[in-house]
Structure 1
Amino acid sequence: MELIRNLFHRSRQEPEEQGPLYTPVREAISSVQAYARSHGGEIELVGVSDEGDVTIRLRGACRGCPMSEMTLKHGIEEQLRTLVPGVGSIHQVA
Structure 2
Amino acid sequence: MVDEALIAKVKETLEAFRPQLNADGGDMEFINIDDENKVHLKLTGACGSCPMATMTLKMGIERYLKETCPEISEVVQD
> Is the TM value for this pair above 0.5?
yes
**Residue in structure 2 matched with residue 68 of structure 1 by the alignment:** 53
Q: Which one of the candidate residues 16, 25, 37 is aligned to 1:52?
A: 37
Structure 1: segments with no counterpart, 5+ residues? 1-17
SS of residue paired to 1:46? strand
Aligned length: 76
TM-score, normalising length: structure 1: 0.75
Structure 2: segments with no counterpart, 5+ residues? none
**Residue in structure 2 matched with residue 90 of structure 1 by the alignment:** 75
Runs of 4+ in 1 over 2 A off after TM superposition: none
TM-score, normalising length: structure 2: 0.90
Q: Which is worse superposed, 44-53 or 23-32?
A: 44-53
SS of residue paired to 1:31? helix
**Percent identical residues:** 34
Task: Write 1 or 2 for the structure with the bigger share of helix.
Answer: 2
Tell me, yes or no, if structure 1 residue 34 matches structure 2 residue 19: yes
